[in-house]
A and B are shown apart, each in its own frame.
Chain A
Amino acid sequence: MLFPTQSEEVILTISIILITLAIVSAVLFTIKKIFPEKNLKELENRTKSWWIMILIFIFAIFINNLASYICLGLLSFFAFRELYSVLHFRQSDRSALLLAFLAIPIQYTLAYIKWYGAYIIFIPVCMFLLLPSVLVIKQDTHRITKSIAMLQWTLMLSVFGLSHLAFLLSMPKIEGFSSGGHGLLLFLVFLTEINDVMQFLWGKTLGRHKILPNVSPNKTWEGFIGGLISTTAIGYFLRFLTPLEPGYVILTSALIAISGFSGDVVLSAIKRDKGIKDMSDTIPGHGGIFDRIDSLSFTAPMFFHLVYYIAYPHL
């Protein structure tokens, strides 16, 4: 079925997001008209990319159930490709890498058919044992430890972690909670991204004390705490998208802010190690795909398992 009906809460939230973005665009446009000498290119690029990303997201998530899983699988594919491309694997790792790519459709199929038991062990157990075994066949032991570790980590982050977005859509219905998986997915993605934006804005305006200067020189305590408070507040107002009690919504939102920050700085550290500024230049104004979803790759599994534990005790 094309565009299955969504709950009023989901539609309301999407309208709020689109209106907010429209206001930002209008403000940028006005500033440009009044002060034409100001250089707003980067902000304009970012806003334009936000429009495209949000429209793709809405389209991907709401057009059709199967299409949502396929689109999220593609996101994992692009993310995995981008991340492993900067990590310098060996020539002899090719077959294992190809196998890791094949794990993506399998993982998303398991989410689609709602086979939770297989879905949750496929990468952490099956691929964990299988990939090193395949790596060994080539008998190239020089720096094989590094390849084994990097391959599993890349797969965990970009496929296992992100596939939790898809499994949110497979969650069973809870009585009295009409938004369902779409509501949870929207809550998670919106809060993660708004946390990035809020940390950035608070850091720009109030930032004084650097938090991890050798990893990410632009991150400050003020940005982190400002983001944490704003995200928790926004999460509290959007609690109708989740089946959680108000107290748990506050806890969950705060954890989204903290784990989002962690994902951000962990990926920053890797970029720093590899001597690159951005993962690639796929998204104008943002960088690569992983520059945008670094936080999401951390918040998704955290949020999923927390909600799963609190609200779905009988699964």
Chain B
Amino acid sequence: MEKPFLQSVCLKLVYKGIFRPVLKYYVGVQYSDCSFLKDEKQFVIIANHNSHLDTLSLLASLPNEILWKVKPVAAEDYFGNTKLKAKLSRFFINALLINRKSKDGSCSAMDRLVNAIEEGYSLILFPEGSRGEPEQMSKMKTGIARLLAQKPGLKYVPVFMTGMGTSLPKGGLVALPYNASLHFGKPTLPESSDPHIIMEQIEGDFQSMIQQFGIKDDDDDD
């Protein structure tokens, strides 16, 4: 793993120089402190997914020094369906493209994740798979648990975001200003090497974050 000079400068410029202030002042994203990530050698960020703003806000909040080695995992059939799009995603989002419906067996999604981890990259994963409805979490897929089971000692960081889907939902054209927020959990080691138990652990983390930060629908009473 070598630090790509040009790309790392570009990422800093785009995410720290442009997206961070735009997300903060126009959209109203309230960042939470994640400078502790600097002290972690490697990690997998696990986040809920409701909007394209998720990836942008996550990258915009990461510490400068590690920005270039954190790769958001993205769907190849969406972000890489043309050669140009794949190139741009790899460069400007630093994306690790995987095939959601891999059939050909050339290089399975899991292999690519494992390879990236072995090369030393950290990852951002959205285990729900797709963006879904705003402020609702769909069932998380188990790939993340299998990855953590395969790589003992790899820490995960749960991140819970609110308001992103309200600001820019699936199919929305313009981001609506909306006070959205990010909440970083602590870097955590899986308690077991059994994917089922790891999955339960992750789901538990998210349940408590939803309890604490989730937006409650107050319209149930009438």
Q: Report which A residues bind B (CB closer than 8 A).
A: 77-78, 81-82, 84-86, 88, 91, 94, 97-98, 101, 143, 273-275, 280-282
Contacts and interface: CB of A to CB of B under 8 A. Distances in A.
Interface residues of B, number: 17
Given A85-B163, A274-B218, 9 more contacts: A77-B177, A81-B28, A81-B177, A81-B178, A82-B28, A85-B28, A86-B179, A88-B217, A94-B176
B153 to A, nearest CB: 36
Contacts of B219: 88, 143
A85 B217 contact: no
A281 B178 contact: no
Nearest to A80: B177
B185 interface: no
A167 B172 CA distance: 35
Interface of B: 28, 30, 134, 163, 166, 169, 172, 174, 176-179, 215-219
A85 B215 CA distance: 10
A78 B24 CA distance: 11
Contacts of A84: 178
A91 B134 contact: yes
B176 A88 contact: no
Contacts of A85: 28, 163, 178-179
- Describe B's contact surface by its main secondary structure: loop
A273 B177 CA distance: 23
Contacts of B163: 85
Contacts of A273: 218
Contacts of B30: 280-282
A91 B177 contact: no
Nearest to B178: A85
Contacts of A94: 169, 172, 176
A147 B217 CA distance: 15
A281 B29 CA distance: 11
A182 to B, nearest CB: 26
Contacts of A101: 176-177
Of A85, A88, A91, A282, most buried by chain B (CB within 10 Å of CB) is A85
A275 B217 CA distance: 11
A132 B106 CA distance: 55
A24 to B, nearest CB: 29
Nearest to A78: B28
A149 to B, nearest CB: 14
Contacts of A91: 134, 166, 169
B216 A275 contact: yes
Nearest to A288: B179
Given A143-B219, A275-B216, A98 B176 contact: yes
A98 B218 contact: no
Nearest to A282: B30
A97 B217 contact: no
Nearest to B215: A88
B218 to A, nearest CB: 6
Contacts of A98: 174, 176
